[in-house]
Chain A
Amino acid sequence: MTTRLLIAGLLALVLAALFLLPYGVSYFYIFVATEILIMGLFAASFNLVFGYTGMLSFGHAAFFGMGSYTTAMLLLHLQVPLVWTLLAAMLTSMLLAAVIGFFCVRLNEVYFAMLTLAFGMMVFSVAHQWRSVTNGSDGITGFPLTEFGLGLDLQLANPLVYYYVVLVVVVLAAALLYLVTRSPFGLILKAISENPERVAFCGLNERRFRLIAFIVAGLFAGLAGGLFAPFNRVASPDMIHWSHSAEAVLMTILGGSAYFLGPFFGAMVFVLLETWITSYTDHWMLVLGIILALMVMFFRRGILGTVLDRVLRR
């Protein structure tokens, strides 16, 4: 009970800090914080598939990209209020996840990973090659950011305002995703990640559950992507590239996949390190590689995971 209070207290503190952040840091770090929140949601959605269900996907950026393009194109062609573009982003990426997942969940482990990678590459080439629709490697740019919708009068083009929009949306989405992990459905996913066969002998079609987890994860990745396009002012093929999928994997491993907030923490470490290290040296990938190697060799439960393990004495 005391650990629960401690965690609730810490969480309240983190949230308060996030809401007060713009009063304490420069404009630059508001950008950084926005990116961390969006990437944190992306990594957390990936972790529903990876940490909770036990499937390593290398194609998760496809859904992030789908969300980005949906938002960007709706804003460009139809000037739809942002909130509706976000809902549309969730819908389109969910549908894409249903199609890709339908094939992928038939396979296990390394074959699952390879098939998600293959589908990710296909989605990337569509975005890259289908110029008349996606504008090729330049991506979708120049879309106006007019209104948020729901009768709210928000100056979305102001980075400070957009930070708060992202903060509220990500916190709500994270709360929802957390609820999913703690629901009866979430319990079944954990059971599947550990022993799919036993779940089948309890009367559940485990493949169907893995597909649903994949679709739910795709939906949240699409929301993250939908938030990212207006922030980045472009929806481009790099967001779908497999290296972007790998970022979700890296962030999750950095933070720790066993705790819900691990991927968010990992996203923070990743984005901050990238920001700081690239300002000193071009060897960001080398440093990242070293950190990752150390993590995998010595701190397999991730930074936040290792710390929380100590605190909770697991």
Chain B
Amino acid sequence: MTEPLLSIRDLTKTFGGVHAVDGVSLDVRPRETVALIGPNGAGKTTFYNMISGRMTPTSGSIHYDGEEITGLPPHRISRLGISRSFQITNIFQELTVRQNVEVALTAFHGKALAMLRLASRDREIIDEAYALLERLGLEALADQRAGVLSYGDKRLLEIAIVLATRPRLVLLDEPTAGMTPEETRHVTQLIRRLADSGDYTFLVTEHDMSVVFGIADRILVMHRGQRLAEGTPEEIRNDPEVKRAYLGEEEEEAAS
């Protein structure tokens, strides 16, 4: 068994006595795709916020690649090779699509302090930005202002920004939320393709079960801040507790 890339132990976050995340442990091995599912309010986003440095855990520990990263600020965690997307689209609306990616590339290549030369003359960054946009099918929109993109394209751009810092561990927070079935299929295929490339380890939260079962090697189910179950898609599909807590609720939601 390989060493886990991400190793989380008893992670807890409380907000004024409420346990948003309550003693959750998880190991993610290199090149694996783990889906994190659970009903709204299960603590998935809080869990992400702690891994990516947006929030400091109340207790517990996070190790990445053998190094403790608990409570480090976001920029340090990003530098170590963990990159995340956000549930609510988090891009630079006023910059062009290409510039959005260039910001992340400039950061990654350590060129962010270069003051006395034109950014528009940096072939390395420009070419890499184009290549990345091509990979996501956004190259035709490169010079558009990001704010005018369709919702689905904005979500894709967000993934482009995430990939630009060449992460080893990618955290995607509901990448297909609000997308059309067509866009959802596109993103699902994209994630699978990226996962198959062997360059990335994914942790993905998702509500759409067809997406989850389509990409995940392993699934962690959270419920009210706690770990409810963990296993292969097959095991999770047949777990009676999961059915009751989560899949059941979805049916209720659908019925209401």
Contact of B75 among A183, A194, A195, A205 (CB under 8 A): A205
Smallest distance from the beta carbon of B254 to chain A beta carbons, Å?
34
A185 close to B (CB within 8 Å)? yes
Residue on A with the closest CB to B118? A182
Residue on B with the closest CB to A212? B113
Complex Cα gap A216–B52 (Å): 31
Residues in A39-59 with C-beta less than 8 Å from chain B: none
Smallest distance from the beta carbon of A209 to chain B beta carbons, Å?
7
Q: Is B115 a contact partner of A198 (Cβ separation < 8 A)?
A: no
Complex Cα gap A185–B122 (Å): 12
Q: Which residues of A contact B54 (CB under 8 A)?
A: 197
Q: Mark B55-93, 1 if CB is under 8 A from A, else 0.
A: 000000000000000000111001100011000001111
A201 close to B (CB within 8 Å)? yes
Q: Is B95 a contact partner of A202 (Cβ separation < 8 A)?
A: no
Q: Which residues of A contact B122 (CB under 8 A)?
A: 184
Given that A182-B120, A202-B165 are contacting pairs, would A187 and B103 also be in contact in the complex, using a CB cutoff of 8 Å?
yes
B99 close to A (CB within 8 Å)? yes
Residue on B with the closest CB to A182? B118
Given that A182-B118, A182-B120, A187-B102 are contacting pairs, would A201 and B83 also be in contact in the complex, using a CB cutoff of 8 Å?
yes
Q: Is B117 a contact partner of A203 (Cβ separation < 8 A)?
A: no
Q: Is A183 a contact partner of B90 (Cβ separation < 8 A)?
A: no
Q: Which residues of A contact B104 (CB under 8 A)?
A: 202-203
Q: Which residues of A contact B33 (CB under 8 A)?
A: none
Q: Is B112 a contact partner of A209 (Cβ separation < 8 A)?
A: yes
Given that A180-B115, A184-B111 are contacting pairs, would A203 and B92 also be in contact in the complex, using a CB cutoff of 8 Å?
no
Given that A191-B95, A204-B75 are contacting pairs, would A185 and B102 also be in contact in the complex, using a CB cutoff of 8 Å?
no
Contact of B79 among A190, A195, A198, A203 (CB under 8 A): A203
A200 close to B (CB within 8 Å)? yes
Given that A188-B107, A204-B107 are contacting pairs, would A183 and B102 also be in contact in the complex, using a CB cutoff of 8 Å?
no
Residues in B95-115 with C-beta less than 8 Å from chain A: 95, 99, 102-104, 106-108, 111-115
Q: Is B78 a contact partner of A183 (Cβ separation < 8 A)?
A: no
B127 close to A (CB within 8 Å)? no
Total count of chain A residues near the partner, CB < 8 A:
27
Q: Is B161 a contact partner of A184 (Cβ separation < 8 A)?
A: no
Residue on B with the closest CB to A187? B119
Total count of chain B residues near the partner, CB < 8 A:
37
Q: Is B75 a contact partner of A200 (Cβ separation < 8 A)?
A: yes
A250 close to B (CB within 8 Å)? no
Contact of B118 among A183, A188, A195, A206 (CB under 8 A): A183
A273 close to B (CB within 8 Å)? no
Q: Which residues of B contact A183 (CB under 8 A)?
A: 114-119
Contact of A184 among B90, B106, B165 (CB under 8 A): B106
B94 close to A (CB within 8 Å)? yes
Residue on A with the closest CB to B113? A185
Q: Is A179 a contact partner of B118 (Cβ separation < 8 A)?
A: yes
Q: Which residues of B contact A201 (CB under 8 A)?
A: 52, 74-75, 78, 83-84, 90
Complex Cα gap A180–B74 (Å): 26
Smallest distance from the beta carbon of A32 to chain B beta carbons, Å?
32
Q: Is B92 a contact partner of A200 (Cβ separation < 8 A)?
A: no
Residue on A with the closest CB to B74? A200
A167 close to B (CB within 8 Å)? no
Complex Cα gap A206–B106 (Å): 14
Q: Is A198 a contact partner of B119 (Cβ separation < 8 A)?
A: no
Q: Is A197 a contact partner of B90 (Cβ separation < 8 A)?
A: yes
A186 close to B (CB within 8 Å)? yes
Contact of A195 among B73, B90, B99 (CB under 8 A): B90
Smallest distance from the beta carbon of B148 to chain A beta carbons, Å?
11
By CB atoms of chain B within 10 A, which of A190, A191, A209 has the most?
A191
Q: Is A188 a contact partner of B112 (Cβ separation < 8 A)?
A: yes
Smallest distance from the beta carbon of B161 to chain A beta carbons, Å?
7
A165 close to B (CB within 8 Å)? no
Contact of B92 among A184, A194, A206 (CB under 8 A): A194
Smallest distance from the beta carbon of A181 to chain B beta carbons, Å?
9
Q: Is B161 a contact partner of A202 (Cβ separation < 8 A)?
A: yes
Given that A198-B161, A200-B75, A206-B75 are contacting pairs, would A191 and B103 also be in contact in the complex, using a CB cutoff of 8 Å?
yes
Complex Cα gap A186–B117 (Å): 10
Q: Is A199 a contact partner of B79 (Cβ separation < 8 A)?
A: no
Smallest distance from the beta carbon of B65 to chain A beta carbons, Å?
16
Smallest distance from the beta carbon of B167 to chain A beta carbons, Å?
10
Q: Which residues of A contact B83 (CB under 8 A)?
A: 201
Smallest distance from the beta carbon of A54 to chain B beta carbons, Å?
11
Residue on A with the closest CB to B114? A184
12 new A-B contacts at CB < 8 Å, known A197-B90, A209-B112:
A179-B117, A182-B118, A187-B103, A190-B95, A195-B91, A197-B74, A200-B73, A201-B83, A202-B103, A202-B104, A203-B104, A204-B75
Identify 13 residue pairs between A and B in the complex whose beta-carbon atoms are under 8 Å apart, listed by A's number: A184-B114, A191-B103, A194-B92, A197-B54, A198-B103, A199-B107, A201-B78, A201-B90, A202-B78, A202-B103, A202-B165, A203-B107, A212-B113
Closest 5 A-B residue pairs measured CB to CB? Answer: A203-B78, A200-B74, A202-B107, A202-B104, A191-B103
* Chain B residues engaging chain A, CB cutoff 8 angstroms: 52, 54, 73-75, 78-79, 83-84, 90-95, 99, 102-104, 106-108, 111-120, 122, 125, 161, 164-165
